[in-house]
Structure 1
Amino acid sequence: MSSIKAHQACPIESAALHNPNFQVFLLFACPTHRNKSMPIIDALLSYKNVHFRSLNLDRYAQGTPIADWLKKGDLFKSRYLMFHLSDLLRLLTLYRFGGVYLDMDVLQLQSLEDEPLNYAGAERADSIGNSVISLEPNGFGHQLGELFLQDFHVNYNGDAWAHNGPMGLVRVMSEICGTNNVTLMVNNRQRCQGFKVFDVNAFYEVPWPQWPLFFNAESSNETLARTKNSRMVHIWNHIVTKWPLKTDSKSPYMHWAGQHCPRVVAATGRLFY
């Protein structure tokens, strides 16, 4: 908990701010502790709908389609263990509880409260991102959650970074939708049995090779215009190295932060890490 930085906390606040009727859970796969006042943590917990939870992976997986496979230990031989563990935990959570999963580098710009569950977003014309996934807790959403978990262990590859995450979504949805053409999935929700695949602009308008645009004040107007209809922006924290930022920066990122995570910004002082 003490390692949460402002650029990680900002998306959490944005989810709480825009969805006051949702409960926002931050899940840790390790023990947490807090022995002093932490301004950023205090800022997040000032929202009544923000909760921190620590989980034990073995217990969390009990009673799920992946429990027996997990005991084999293949996951822990992964070259990309943290990424693949995260890929699995989001699927386990959605299978167990349903709801909306968001990565900690997805900054929310609009509410999701009126959007029916069961959706994800196209990251490219040929890919579905797994940074935003929504499933119903029962019915078709729960069935999809089971299919995602089954695909994870049947097709698991510990040597390929995206194979168990975004590519897993494409594999399952290709079967559900009767096509591997993501553009067709976006354009015709009915062919995917009601599961909605948002177009690229909704969550991933700025792809990872263009991440410097988030911090470029000179092209800020163009970037803000480009994302004006986006529901979220994915900041690609595993790549970004532009911290800290001055809180009075004219960059698109600080423009969004001031609007969508104002309490975290206030807690950071002059520099935003």
Structure 2
Amino acid sequence: MNYFIRCFVVIISLGLFYLASYWLLVTNNTTSVSNKHETTSKESPPILKNLFDLVVKENSIFFLETSMKDFEHEVVTINRRASCALESAALHHQNRTIYYIYVFPNDTETIYIKEKYLNMVLTYENIQVVYAKIDDLVRNTEIEELFSKHLIETSPFFVEHFSDAFRAIILMKFGGIYMDSDVIVLKSLDDLGGNFIGKEISTILASGIMGFDENGIDLLSAALEDLNKNYNPKSWGGHGPLLFTKWVKKMCNATANFSYHECDYLRILPTNAFYPVSYGIWRHFFNPKYIDEIRNMVKNSYLIHIWNKLTHGFILEADSNAPYLIFAREHCPKTVSKLYKSF
């Protein structure tokens, strides 16, 4: 009897051993396949493309990032408000390609897009995040000589001056619309035609939002020639709004308040088109009690301009009902959905 019991115990033990071995083998194989699938399914982050390697459509919209703060790093970034501007432009212009252009020095290495706001805006099929090298931008333009002297880099306003120069060059090379990154687009600009600029005040044109096609090349060229000859590194606004004001008046024989001008191709828009809330009352964007006033001021506007030089340090809580954030929730909802504590 003891012999049969011992045999039974041996058989049961061998069975349990083989069952355990089989289970471990199956588990290891499954884990291996799973890990392999996980490894191969993780894609590398997208690489920033060179604008000049792409076929750019004539009716595109362009934003510029000229601080060059990311060129030494492998990953580019975008702030929440610029993300909102970019998204709102894409949302209201699904028939156009929207380019966010990082301007980099000429020795730029491979740059990756690995940042939550950039990845979010890239869910819009009509948004392209790209870079452009300085040499590619200025080559064979009216300001190539100025850049060879490296004067702009010495200016305390080099970010603004780079942007002043490159927005004109981009529109000369490609045509389309340029926008500053401190806006929220409220509706399509498609009805404005190919050449337009807006007043900041009755006698000054602003260059924060403007559109030009081949009909405006002479005007852009004249402005760039002036910049090349008369560049002043100490002048904050002299190479943007004042420069365009000067050359529109000169080339179009415009009156002081632009009520009359002779450039049939150019549409000059009133202040409330692009700058309905003046920089003098910028705080109203950030105060909930002014929502009715702001809504009334912008009811016929194409966009709102936030005056970043004045407002960049003014932070809103993510749940604020300030006018700026109310417009953001409506016109850049994906950006707002990514907010953690502030905007």
TM-score, scaled relative to structure 2? 0.73
Taking the aligned partners of 2:231 and 2:318, their CA distance within structure 1 comes to 42
- Structure 2 stretches of 5 or more lacking a match? 1-74
Contact 1:265 1:272 in 2 (8 A): no
Match in the other structure for 1:127: 204
Residue from 86, 101, 112 that aligns with 1:34: 112
Partner of 1:57: 134
**Higher RCO (Cα < 8 Å, 6 or more apart):** 1
Aligned pairs, number: 265
8 Å CA contact 1:243–1:272 kept in 2: the answer is no
Cα distance change of structure 1 residues 60 and 2 upon mapping to structure 2, 3 Å threshold: closer
In 1: Cα distance, 2:253 partner to 2:169 partner = 25
Q: Say whether 1:16 aligns with 2:16.
A: no
In the other structure, the counterpart of 1:265 is 336
- The residue aligned with 2:321 is 250
Q: CA separation of 1:142/1:261 partners in 2, compared to 1, >3 Å: closer, same or farther?
A: same
Partner of 1:78: 155
User: Aligned equivalents of 1:209 and 1:255: distance in 2?
Assistant: 21
Residue aligned with 1:238, SS = helix
- Mean CA deviation greater in 16-25 or 1-10: 1-10
* Equivalent in the alignment of 2:287: 216
Match of 2:219 among 128, 140, 144: 144
Pairwise CA distance, 1:218: 0.9
Consecutive unaligned residues of structure 1, counting only runs of 5 or more, are none
Taking structure 1 as reference, are residues 241 and 85 closer, same or farther at Cα in structure 2, changes over 3 Å only? closer
- Which structure has the larger Rg over C-alpha atoms? 2
- Taking structure 1 as the reference length, what is the TM-score of the superposition? 0.91
Task: Determine helix, strand or coil for the equivalent of 1:191.
Answer: coil
The reply on whether 1:174 has 2:249 as its aligned counterpart is yes
Letter of the 2:322 counterpart? S
1:121-172 deviation line (CA, Å, top 9, x unaligned): 0001121111011100x2x222222122112212321111111111100111
Contact 1:23 1:50 in 2 (8 A): yes
Give distance in 1, aligned partners of 2:171 and 2:282.
28
Which secondary structure does the structure 1 equivalent of 2:178 belong to? Answer: strand
**Deviations for 1:9-41, whole angstroms, at most 9, x for unmatched residues?**
1011011000011111111112573364x3211
Write the letter of the residue equivalent to 1:231.
Answer: Y
2:205/2:241 contact within 8 Å kept: yes
Aligned residues: percent identity?
A: 29
How far off its partner does 1:118 sit?
0.7
Deviation per residue, 1:171-203 (Å, 9 max, x gap): 11011221351x2x2x34x62332111100001
Task: Give 1:55's aligned amino acid.
Answer: A
Amino acid of the structure 2 residue aligned with 1:129:
A
